[in-house]
Amino acid sequence: MAGFIAVPARVRALDETAGVQVNFCRMPTCPNFGKPPGSIRRGRGGAVNLYRRNGLKRGVSGLQCKSCGHISPIKSNLGVAEELARISVYLDPPAGPTCPRPDCDNRDRPISAHPELYQRQGKTEIGSQRYLCHGCGRRFSVATKSTHRQRRTDHAGVINRICETKHVSPPTIYRQARLLPPSVPRLRGRS
């Protein structure tokens, strides 16, 4: 499944994963703000650490800053990295349309990357681009946006309806439309 990150078999919660490190002091005024923890060892000796493990409440481990004393809950860097990859999938550019036939050689070759494998064959009734695949000879069309049905209204039809209901001629409507302020869109058509 896309979006998952391969990690070594033994990963500690405090280790940076795929460039993600969320365990640090969260107090902006603290000198350790944004500094990741080193290897935290229990007992005496070893490296000097900026933090120590401390429980927030039963079952919740915390990271206590030795400088300011603030306790932050320990989060899984692996979990945050996987979630970031999952929600960022929509940012990847779409592969683009390809030949829909499952046994075609061009099935995994998008039109945008391999235009020489396809030929434009006009458009459909609603304006979708039609292509011919050179690999299998199949014609297919690329769907347009669903807003193709929301085209602009024909002003002539609206004007004719106003003329019928108000018993005036079209030149009268257009003459009055010219008197509207400039901020109102102008009607195009006969005058």
Q: Which domain holds residue 177?
A: 153-191
Task: Let me know if residue 191 belongs to a domain.
Answer: yes
**pLDDT band at residue 61 using 50, 70 and 90 as cut-offs:** confident
The residue with tokens 């993600």 is 20
Q: Domain tally for the chain?
A: 2
> Are 162 and 186 contained in the same domain?
yes
**pLDDT band at residue 190 using 50, 70 and 90 as cut-offs:** very low
Query: Residue range 65-79: average pLDDT?
Result: 88
Task: Let me know if residue 181 belongs to a domain.
Answer: yes
Better-predicted residue by pLDDT, 12 or 182: 182
Question: Which pLDDT value is given to residue 90?
Answer: 80
Question: Which pLDDT value is given to residue 138?
Answer: 93
> Strands (DSSP E) along the chain, which ranges?
51-57, 60-65, 71-73, 118-123, 129-133, 139-141
Query: Residue range 5-23: average pLDDT?
Result: 67
Query: Residue range 113-141: average pLDDT?
Result: 91
Cα 159 to Cα 174: distance, rounded to the nearest angstrom: 9
> Among 66, 76, 90, which Cα is nearest to 13's?
76
Task: Let me know if residue 178 belongs to a domain.
Answer: yes
> Are 141 and 170 contained in the same domain?
no
Q: Is the pLDDT of residue 139 over 90?
A: yes
Question: Which pLDDT value is given to residue 120?
Answer: 93
| Amino acid at site 181 | P
- What is the pTM (predicted TM-score) of this model? 0.44
pLDDT digits (tens, 9 = 90+) for 95-115: 788 999 989 999 888 998 899
**Is 101 in contact with 138 (CB distance < 8 Å)?**
yes
Please give the mean pLDDT across all residues of the chain. Answer: 79
What does the block give as tokens for 104? 């075609």
Q: Is the pLDDT of residue 42 over 60?
A: no
**Is 106 in contact with 98 (CB distance < 8 Å)?**
yes
**Is 64 in contact with 51 (CB distance < 8 Å)?**
yes
> Are 168 and 188 contained in the same domain?
yes
Task: Let me know if residue 170 belongs to a domain.
Answer: yes
